[in-house]
């Protein structure tokens, strides 16, 4: 039994999901003739109370499309220093859109309205890049699955409105935040101009992300997705996995969150663990006590068939997910308890 806790992207489609996918009615989605893709897009637009949605092969492409939609070359976006759009999308913001990033020193990947306000370049000052977009992440990835307070997000939106900026949410793990905080997704639809969500993380679909926004914006996204090579043909088989996941795998995210909290509880008591960051959702970040090295911990757990990952700066990461079952959890809890260095 191999227990893979490096990410929630490692899940494989269940038999039920595969069966559902194989029943999908499909067509050519580049001609907008795939009924299952249209169904998924409609479902997700409705969840957020927004006008339109578009299916993408990856979250990276959905975010990159959003950045392109809201900016012109030479302009600048504002995000946290740990943001996925800055750190983990291959430099796409500069490559695809020709924009620079103004990085803010947030708290566990979360920024405030005051920080955003202070970072906006004066539009009349032609020496500096024109600020045109703010991107936030909920939950934060590198911030350890932390969740924003929607009141702060509404404040950031007010700053954006005052300064003519667009506001994009990288909601790769927004489902986790919605479940953990018992929030109404329609709130998010009101706060943001565009939202990207992943189906291939906690929800357990093999592929797929969706970008939501108003009709005009999503219509413009069609051309950008085409340019990026994301126009797919009989994509309904993949969209069906997303529909199945939305029906079956959202509320159970609570279970992932509970297991992550339980793992944190054990780690906190271990003599070789230094610090365990607060656990709000399915991501758990911790550091080990010197002179123990993170690589030694990874190796030793690997020998016990437990795979976790390093995030740099001595940080270790565990991510719980749909394929991390109760028996595995019992075994990991017991192993952590017994292991010594």
Alpha carbons 238 and 24: distance in angstroms, whole number: 9
**Per-residue x/- marks for ligand PLP, 148-187, CB under 6 A?**
----------------------x-x---------------
User: 236-248 and 15-22 are packed helices; what angle lies between their axes, rounded to 10 degrees?
Assistant: 140
- Report the residue from 4, 60, 131, 320 that binds ligand PLP according to the rule CB under 6 A: 60
Helix (H) or strand (E) holding 198: strand 194-198
Q: How far is the CB of 166 from ligand PLP (least distance, A)?
A: 17
Give 190's DSSP letter: H
Residue 279 or 336: the one with the smaller Cβ distance to ligand PLP is 279
Q: Quick one: tokens of 59?
A: 């979250």
Q: Which of 159, 175, 243 is nearest to 205 (CA)?
A: 243
124-143: contacts with ligand PLP (CB under 6 A):
137, 141
Q: Are 284 and 318 in contact (CB under 8 A)?
A: yes
Residue 136 or 243: the one with the smaller Cβ distance to ligand PLP is 136
Alpha carbons 245 and 117: distance in angstroms, whole number: 38
**Per-residue x/- marks for ligand PLP, 183-222, CB under 6 A?**
---------------x----------x-------------
Q: Does 225 bind ligand PLP (CB under 6 A)?
A: no
| Span interacting with ligand PLP, options 55-63, 152-160, 240-248, 322-330, rule CB under 6 A | 55-63
Residue 84 or 157: the one with the smaller Cβ distance to ligand PLP is 84
Residue 145 or 185: the one with the smaller Cβ distance to ligand PLP is 145
Q: How far is the CB of 205 from ligand PLP (least distance, A)?
A: 11
Alpha carbons 126 and 309: distance in angstroms, whole number: 44
User: Is the backbone of residue 33 left (phi > 0), alpha (psi -120 to 50) or beta?
Assistant: alpha
Q: How far is the CB of 270 from ligand PLP (least distance, A)?
A: 27
Q: How far is the CB of 49 from ligand PLP (least distance, A)?
A: 22
278-297: contacts with ligand PLP (CB under 6 A):
none
81-120: contacts with ligand PLP (CB under 6 A):
84
| Span interacting with ligand PLP, options 59-67, 90-98, 186-194, 259-267, rule CB under 6 A | 59-67
Name 112's Cβ contacts closer than 8 Å, sequence gap at least 6: 106, 152, 155, 156
Q: How far is the CB of 172 from ligand PLP (least distance, A)?
A: 3
Residue 58 or 281: the one with the smaller Cβ distance to ligand PLP is 58
Alpha carbons 265 and 153: distance in angstroms, whole number: 30
Q: Does 59 bind ligand PLP (CB under 6 A)?
A: yes
Residue 137 or 280: the one with the smaller Cβ distance to ligand PLP is 137
Q: Which of 179, 310, 181, 187 is nearest to 246 (CA)?
A: 179
User: Which position's Cβ is nearest ligand PLP?
Assistant: 59
Q: How many helices (H) and strands (E) does the chain have?
A: 14, 13
Alpha carbons 102 and 195: distance in angstroms, whole number: 20
Alpha carbons 163 and 126: distance in angstroms, whole number: 16
Residue 121 or 200: the one with the smaller Cβ distance to ligand PLP is 200
Residue 54 or 198: the one with the smaller Cβ distance to ligand PLP is 198
Alpha carbons 141 and 134: distance in angstroms, whole number: 17
Q: Which residues bind ligand PLP (CB under 6 A)?
A: 58-60, 63, 84, 137, 141, 170, 172, 198, 209
């Amino acid at each position: 039994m191999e227990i893979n806790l490096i990410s929630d992207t490692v899940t494989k489609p269940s038999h039920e999901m595969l069966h559902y996918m194989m029943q999908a009615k499909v067509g050519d989605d580049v001609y907008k003739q795939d009924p299952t893709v249209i169904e998924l897009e409609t479902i997700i637009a409705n969840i957020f109370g927004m006008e339109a949605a578009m299916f993408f092969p990856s979250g990276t492409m959905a975010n990159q499309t959003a950045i392109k939609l809201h900016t012109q070359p030479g302009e600048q976006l504002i995000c946290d220093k740990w943001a996925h759009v800055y750190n983990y999308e291959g430099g796409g913001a500069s490559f695809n859109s020709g924009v620079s990033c103004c990085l803010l020193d947030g708290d566990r990947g979360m920024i405030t309205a005051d920080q955003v306000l202070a970072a906006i370049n004066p539009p009349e000052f032609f020496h500096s890049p024109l600020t045109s977009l703010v991107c936030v992440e909920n939950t934060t990835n590198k911030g350890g699955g932390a969740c924003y307070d929607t009141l702060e997000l509404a404040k950031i939106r007010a700053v954006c409105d005052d300064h003519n900026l667009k506001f994009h949410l990288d909601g790769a793990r927004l489902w986790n935040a919605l479940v953990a905080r018992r929030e109404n997704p329609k709130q998010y639809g009101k706060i943001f101009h565009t939202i990207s969500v992943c189906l291939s993380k906690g929800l357990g679909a093999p592929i797929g992300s969706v970008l939501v926004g108003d009709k005009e914006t999503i219509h413009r996204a069609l051309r950008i997705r085409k340019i990026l090579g994301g126009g797919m043909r009989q994509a309904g088989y993949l969209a069906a996995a997303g529909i199945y996941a939305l029906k079956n795998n959202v509320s159970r995210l609570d279970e992932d969150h509970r297991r992550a909290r339980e793992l944190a509880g054990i780690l906190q008591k271990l003599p070789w663990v230094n610090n365990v960051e607060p656990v709000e959702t399915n991501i758990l970040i911790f550091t080990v006590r010197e002179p123990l090295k993170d690589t030694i911990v990874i190796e030793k757990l690997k020998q016990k068939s437990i795979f976790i990952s390093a995030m740099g700066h001595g940080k270790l990461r565990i991510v719980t997910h749909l394929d991390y079952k109760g028996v595995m959890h019992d075994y990991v809890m017991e192993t952590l308890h017994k292991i010594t260095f």
